[in-house]
Structure 1
């Protein structure tokens, strides 16, 4: 009798486990890029009901920072744990999160055409994700966010392609004015930034968040919700504050948060729940 009871309990447990779905993260997958002539690695988060439903999901492209890769949001940012919790608490909707590797490209097309990363992102990466996974392909279901270099990249992409995203959340974005860029091209990142932006200011101005915003036509405001977050001890705060002021002058709606903290994963881990909530609210409006 006791054995039968134990067996029944085990069977019930197995049935329950079989019906219980968990989210999944697949690290360092890749696809072949014709534009770059190499494989592009990416990691992806799939929500818990992905394998048990047939519906399509909104997508968040989550960009990494300088010297990082497609795995850092997972291991350092605790992305899966934070996203699982937000969805379970109904603070975020189930979504797919794509984390591509960008190496040290700063997400731009290199000035000499040798590494057209931005073209690859929009002409190959996004179509590949929409063909391979059940990703919704409309603007209202596509968001972008990132930290530091990835914050710059997310900002830049939202301005270069304002019809592609419904929400943009740059965290500690590496946005600079001309004077800071001139210093970096001359000293701290001389080889890198000269390789990316070339001599002179022409290509830099095409990719300068501040310059693009300053020149923005106020009669054609982007239909994008912005959430900008930077720590009060972050060396990039000044650039983020300047962008905030320009956006106010241009009447571009946005949220600007300055919280206690610096340029660190401790800060970005606390920012991610708010990003997920923000983009989910934007998805839900569509």
Structure 2
């Protein structure tokens, strides 16, 4: 009898605990092989709460890029993307989606191609196909979006402008869009100097300014969102980027909020970014 009573109490406690803490989406840290980069590459992936239980369901995907000097763990750790996603999905402010955070650091920290580091080729030729082959992703433009902060914001723009046929939405946060000779950057550091050169070779403002009519029409199929703090050192380049979009009559959304180049700002941006890309996925 005592064992039965104990079992009943245990089951009751478990049910109550489960009711108080329902299943949530989770972040996993993984690796994938890369022939292009000749090494295994790390990535973080957020899987929504129904992923494990509803094995017939497929999901849209957001590729979320970290900033310079960061890693694939930044958005889950410092940006709390898992917690934000769970909150917004539970309240139906965002649809269930898979969120992938690539690792672009450690070796060269560069989202762009370089003779020794073809990261852009890796992203499009290996990572996207790998994710879509190994996870239940809806692999089309209408259900694929990209976003990123700072250097990853620049990467977001470059990736979406180079392949507008792949993304329905691009959300750029505090984007580092072209070379800025900032006081905290060391011109005598060859690694930093090479990165700055690559950034300038992919000057996001010039990409829009120099776009021909056919390219402009393709860029109009992407839902653009620019989010930058009024105290951010990237504010002026971002306003130039807006001016370039306006000159080409490319639709966009813009938010200028109080804040600088900080994780407080980017964490809060997720509460705008995830509903925005969700509406794009939903066709709203």
CA distance in 2, matches of 1:7, 1:194: 66
Question: Residues 129-174 of structure 1, C-alpha deviation per residue, up to 9 Å, x if partnerless?
Answer: 0011111100100000000011000111000111010000010000
Question: Given the alignment of the two structures, is residue 160 of structure 1 paired with residue 162 of structure 2, yes or no?
Answer: yes
| Maintained 8 Å contact 1:106/1:150 | no
Question: Given the alignment of the two structures, is residue 11 of structure 1 paired with residue 15 of structure 2, yes or no?
Answer: no
**Structure 2 equivalent of residue 282 of structure 1:** 280
**Structure 1 equivalent of residue 47 of structure 2:** 46
Question: How far does residue 24 in structure 1 lie from its aligned partner after superposition?
Answer: 1.4
| Maintained 8 Å contact 2:187/2:193 | no
Moved more, 16-25 or 270-279: 16-25
TM-score (norm 1): 0.88
| Maintained 8 Å contact 1:154/1:170 | yes
| Maintained 8 Å contact 2:178/2:202 | no
Question: How far does residue 197 in structure 1 lie from its aligned partner after superposition?
Answer: 7.2
Question: How far does residue 9 in structure 1 lie from its aligned partner after superposition?
Answer: 5.6
| Maintained 8 Å contact 1:206/1:212 | no
| Maintained 8 Å contact 1:169/1:228 | yes
- Structure 1 residues 3, 137: closer, same or farther in 2, change over 3 A? same
- Structure 1 residues 76, 225: closer, same or farther in 2, change over 3 A? same
- Aligned with 2:260: secondary structure? coil
**What 5-or-longer segments of structure 1 have no aligned partner?**
none
**Structure 1 equivalent of residue 102 of structure 2:** 100
Number of equivalent positions: 275
| Maintained 8 Å contact 2:168/2:223 | yes
User: Please, what is the CA RMSD of the aligned residues?
Assistant: 2.6
Of 127, 147, 150, 1:148 maps to 150
| Maintained 8 Å contact 2:229/2:259 | yes
- Structure 1 residues 119, 91: closer, same or farther in 2, change over 3 A? same
**What 5-or-longer segments of structure 2 have no aligned partner?**
none
**Structure 2 equivalent of residue 191 of structure 1:** 190
Of 70, 73, 78, 2:72 maps to 70
Question: Residues 54-90 of structure 1, C-alpha deviation per residue, up to 9 Å, x if partnerless?
Answer: 1110000000001110001111101111111010111
TM-score (norm 2): 0.88
CA distance in 1, matches of 2:270, 2:252: 17
| Maintained 8 Å contact 1:205/1:212 | no
Moved more, 212-221 or 162-171: 212-221
Of 73, 83, 86, 2:85 maps to 83
Question: How far does residue 6 in structure 1 lie from its aligned partner after superposition?
Answer: 7.1
**Structure 2 equivalent of residue 116 of structure 1:** 118
